[in-house]
Amino acid sequence: MRKYRIKGGIPLSGAVDISGAKNAVVAILPAALLADEPCRVENIPNIKDVAVSLKLLESLGAKVTHIDDNTVEIDPTTVGTCEVNDDLARNMRASYYFIGALLGKHGRARVPMPGGCWFGERPIDLHLKGFRALGAEVTPLENDCIEVCSNQLMGNSIYLDTVSVGATVNIMLAAVRAMGMTIIENAAKEPHIVDLANFLNTMGADIRGAGTDVIKIRGTQYLHSATYSIIPDQIEAGTYMAMAVATKGDVLVRNVIPKHLESITAKLIEMGAIVEEMDDAVRVRCSDTLQHCNIKTMPHPGFPTDMQPQIAVLLSTAQGVSHITEGIWENRYRYVDELRLMGADIEVRGNTATITGVPQLTAADVMAVDLRAGAAMVIAGLAAEGTTEIGNIRYIERGYENIVNKLTRLGAEISLIEVPDEA
Ligand code: UD1
């Protein structure tokens, strides 16, 4: 088993460059299938979910050319099948974006139900409701696969009962070449929704209102080539901000859009950190004992659920009692058992966690139970007394580019180790 070994207690200092956003790139790579010409995508993070997305594109017949470490060119004109590879797709939640993209371009997609992190039930009923509203027929198949097809998608008004990032993206992908106007109401407003709309509009699509709760998409018959650079990752940035605070360090987090970080910044300041915003960077410092606070996760612009485990680590050593209410996922506290092994005092009832601050976390052997839970364990390891080992790091590699190198450059003592499985 591969693990991270971290010697805790070292304040991080220096600068870190944030990579392109995972949740934007996993939508934008399948979106390239919609074009009638090759597209170039820049600022792509080197993470596992990108590797899987690129393999999925190739398995459909698209030509993928690596221009440099963070740039690829995708030629979708060579696509020869609309059947998405089972093993690859089940590795990654966002493989469901291939449904919208293939349906939008070719009128047909056969896709296995997606994999990814487990935070309880993760239905895709709203995605399917959207496809049906555009005139597609949705057929469940054996082996937990679905087929979605249509001779001609027609624009329609679609109200999402729940604000869903995935459904908003998938409906945008399917509607972009449909006949007429599609209106998505109660749409998600996350930065990656805006990024996807900007990419598609660069290809000649007509999408307005992305970033608000009403998105209007007028169908377009031809989408031309485009060169597009992915936005910085809001959650990776938030994670390094939390690391700076947890280690009582002083870190310049570069290549960010400070506006995207406002809900995270506000909470760090409430806890006693100093956050200085610049044009495309934030400097995060902390020297005092952290103060407790209450957090509720919500759709953007609320506090992101994908920062919930990381912030829980900070609250574990804050003075007083804090409450976290998880407003998106039914089961996003599986990391709590691991954090308790490091001395945290956390009680979970339903969707609320009550955290009583302890003076210090202590090192332990822990597991990454999912991507952001894994990031939380890294933060805890950096802050704890002693040497922590974290297993299951494949989850962390799904979403954090070069985390060992980035942290080493900030002065952390972290290494990737191999231990025999039976150990
Ligand atoms: C995306 C993010 C994920 C983040 C989540 C919430 C990507 C690739 N992943 O996930 O990191 O944690 O947003 O910010 O961008 N729901 C339904 N029916 C549906 C779809 C969703 O009931 O058809 C519910 C979900 O169970 C959940 C809520 O809607 O309670 C929000 O889910 P959604 O925004 O769709 O999350 P994802 O797109 O899967």
Query: Distance between CA 358 and CA 344 in Å, rounded?
Result: 7
243 and 164 co-located in one domain: no
pLDDT at 422: 64
Among candidate residues 229, 253, 273, the one where a domain is terminated: 229
Claim to verify: residue 411 and residue 287 sit in the same structural domain: yes
* Residue 423 within any structural domain of the chain: no
Rounded Cα gap, residues 117 and 368, in angstroms = 11
Tell me the C-alpha distance between 112 and 86, whole Å.
Answer: 6
Inside any domain, residue 110: yes
Residue 352 reports pLDDT greater than 60: yes
Tens digit of pLDDT for each residue in 259-289? 999 999 999 999 999 999 999 999 999 988 9
- 3-state DSSP percent of the chain in helix, strand and coil, to 5: 35, 30, 35
Q: What is the CATH number of the domain that holds 189?
A: 3.65.10.10
Beta strand residue intervals within 21-114, DSSP E: 39-42, 63-68, 71-75, 108-112
Full domain range(s) for residue 352: 2-19+232-418
Is there a single domain that holds both residue 223 and residue 272? Answer: no
Tell me the CA–centroid distance for residue 166 and ligand 1, in Å.
Answer: 6
- Asked if residue 328 has pLDDT above 90, the reply is yes
Say yes or no to pLDDT of 113 above 90.
Answer: no
Number of domains observed in the structure of the chain? 2
Tell me the CA end-to-end span of the chain in Å, nearest whole number.
9
335 in the same domain as 348? yes
The last residue of one of the domains, among 196, 211, 229, is 229
pLDDT tens for each residue of 353-386: 999 999 999 999 999 999 999 999 999 999 999 9
The per-residue pLDDT for 121 is 62
The answer to whether the CB of 322 falls within 8 A of the CB of 295 is yes
- Number of C-alpha atoms within 13 angstroms, CB side, residue 47? 27
Which residue owns the Cα nearest ligand 1 atom 38? 166
pLDDT at 8: 98
| Judgement on whether residues 33 and 88 belong to the same structural domain of the protein | yes
Residues 193 and 276 in one domain: no
Considering the domain architecture, whether residues 147 and 278 belong to the same structural domain is answered as no
- Say how far apart CA 268 and CA 240 lie, in whole Å: 12
| 206 and 275 both lie in a single domain | no
Residue 34 and residue 94 in one domain: yes
Instruction: For residue 105, tell me if it sits in a domain.
Output: yes
Domain co-membership, 217 together with 266: no
Query: In whole angstroms, what is the distance from residue 96 CA to residue 166 CA?
Result: 8
DSSP secondary structure letter of residue 260? G
Q: Which of 146, 162, 311 to mutate to test the pocket of ligand 1 (most atoms within 8 A of CB)?
A: 162
Residue list, ligand 1 pocket, CB within 6 Å: 23, 26, 93-94, 122-127, 162, 164-167, 188, 305-306, 328-329
Q: What is the pLDDT of residue 140?
A: 87
The reported pTM is: 0.96
Kindly report, residue by residue over 114-132, the tens digit of the pLDDT: 755 555 567 899 999 999 9
Same domain, 256 and 125: no
Flag whether 279 is in a domain: yes
In 3D space, the residue among 361, 377, 381 whose CA is nearest the CA of residue 369 turns out to be 377
One domain, residues 179 and 273:
no
Q: Name the domain boundary from 229, 252, 283.
A: 229
Q: What is the pLDDT of residue 287?
A: 85
Among all residues, which ones are annotated catalytic? 117
Alpha-carbon span 141 to 130, nearest angstrom: 19
Instruction: Please tell me the distance between residue 376's alpha carbon and the centre of ligand 1 in angstroms.
Output: 20
